[in-house]
Amino acid sequence: MIELDDGSLLASNDPQGFIHSVEHLVDQLAEGWELGRDLAATRDGAGLRSIAVFGVGGSGICGDVLKVVLGSSSPLMVEVCRGYGVPGWVGPDTLVFAVSYSGRTEETLEAYEQARQAGARIVVVTTGGPLAELGRRHGLPIALLRDGLQPRAALGLMLTAMLGVCESLGLGDYDSDVQETAALIKRRAIEYGSTRPTDQNRAKQLAAYMVGLLPVVYGSEGLAQVAAYRWKCQFNECAKTNAYSNFFSELNHNEIMGWSPSGIAPPMKPAVVVLRHCGEHPRIQDRISITLPLIADRLGVVEEVWAEGNSELARVMDLIYLGDFVATYTALAQGIDPCGVDLIDEVKRRLSI
């Protein structure tokens, strides 16, 4: 295992500087926010009844966060569509965000065309590629992001660009939420950053626990559920390990039986992280306090992480941000380049043949 406080070793295993893109998330929040608010939308938000976010991977998780943030204040239905198809309710009263950092995601490109034919109000969020070309051809508003990042490391840009568009269309007031989130993320970047030693760094400590164990991340339905799924995906892509996520109270009706003493022991000891926040339903708090002792004997590590923040945006991003650091450090601690996604690239290559 590589010492996480050895800067030269970290750098040698991170040739593309992925950890630095994680550390600079705060810059993305401000940049995406201004881009979205300044975007010249072709129509205002009058008559909208729903929002659909078309995106997969890192783009899809942005839609999940948007749904959490808007869900507490907006009467509009918000859904994330991760496939090639478009739901039947998408139409002229639907705001569609076609999101692909590369602009080449084939699922999003196909869904875009179906939404256009259905008369949806489309906003394109991308760095370029065929998606941007289609948007220009059809005269649609395009939030043109800066490139040079891994798609999963561009969450701040894509998310706040969409939030900025929503505010510009009169769908809500999110400026104070973005400012609160930016201030919190700026502080966390120092607390979790690569120059902060392990004995003062919660992210490095959690990463050290994860090495050699199976990451399992739990949250409560809503914002912590979304954050838990993001942790799972970051472990997959950065640390190249299987990982799992679930949420209370759903897991009390099925997954808890997988931890039964009479069940089949997993090949790797699980390391469970439970994501918490002050907005949990009181019965969810009861469920967590009952569940963890019941399954503790089957687990290698159990850690609880509490979010800070007054707004839904600040809380969900606080939980997500710690996970981004933990997954990256888990990769680097084992000499794994967090940027490499060779199997994802190979699937795309074979699909193109």
Mean pLDDT of 243-269: 90
Percent pLDDT > 90 in the chain is 86
Which pairing describes strands 214-220 and 270-276: parallel, antiparallel, or unpaired? parallel
**How do residues 216-227 score in pLDDT, each as one tens digit?**
999 999 999 999
* Summary mean pLDDT of the chain: 94
pLDDT at res. 1: 67
State the pLDDT confidence band at 110, using cuts at 50, 70 and 90: very high
pLDDT at res. 261: 82
Contact 144, 125 (CB under 8 A): no
Mean pLDDT of 52-59: 96
State the pLDDT confidence band at 145, using cuts at 50, 70 and 90: very high
* Ordered strands of the 94-100 beta sheet: 77-81, 50-54, 94-100, 121-126, 142-144
**How do residues 84-103 score in pLDDT, each as one tens digit?**
999 999 999 999 999 999 99
Percent pLDDT > 70 in the chain is 99
pLDDT at res. 40: 66
Contact 224, 247 (CB under 8 A): yes
* pLDDT greater at residue 179 or residue 3: 179
| 300 burial type by CB count under 10 A (0-12 exposed, 13-18 middle, 19+ buried) | middle
Name the active-site residue from 23, 237, 280, 312. 237
Mapping DSSP to helix (H, G, I), strand (E, B) and coil, where does residue 5 land?
Answer: coil
Please tell me the distance from the alpha carbon of residue 313 to that of residue 254, in angstroms, as a whole number: 29
Is the confidence at residue 44, as pLDDT, over 80? Answer: no
Respond yes or no: is residue 221 known to be catalytic.
no
Closest Cα partner for 246 from 309, 291, 205, 185?
A: 291
Q: Which residues pair with 98 in a beta bridge?
A: 54, 124
Termini Cα distance of the chain: 39
Mean pLDDT of 327-334: 96
* pLDDT greater at residue 75 or residue 91: 91
For the ranges 36-45, 123-132, 160-169, 285-294, which has the lowest average pLDDT?
A: 36-45
Which of the 8 DSSP states describes residue 242?
-
Respond yes or no: is residue 253 known to be catalytic.
yes
Question: How many CB atoms neighbour CB 347 within 10 A?
Answer: 11
Mean pLDDT of 281-309: 94
| Residue 275: φ, ψ to 5° | -90, 125
pLDDT at res. 71: 86
Is the confidence at residue 263, as pLDDT, over 80? Answer: no
* CA-based torsion, 191, 36, 277, 151: positive or negative: negative
Please tell me the distance from the alpha carbon of residue 33 to that of residue 38, in angstroms, as a whole number: 9
Is the confidence at residue 41, as pLDDT, over 70? Answer: no
> Encoding tokens for residue 210?
């994860």
Is the confidence at residue 29, as pLDDT, over 60? Answer: yes
State the pLDDT confidence band at 264, using cuts at 50, 70 and 90: confident
Q: What is the per-residue DSSP string for 8-22?
A: HHHHHT-TT-HHHHH
Strand ranges inside the chain, DSSP E: 50-54, 77-81, 94-100, 121-126, 142-144, 214-220, 244-248, 270-276, 301-306
Mean pLDDT of 256-265: 85
Question: How many CB atoms neighbour CB 173 within 10 A?
Answer: 10
State the pLDDT confidence band at 157, using cuts at 50, 70 and 90: very high
pLDDT at res. 2: 76
Is the confidence at residue 59, as pLDDT, over 80? Answer: yes
Closest Cα partner for 90 from 112, 65, 71?
A: 112
pLDDT at res. 299: 87
Is the confidence at residue 107, as pLDDT, over 90? Answer: yes
pTM: 0.96
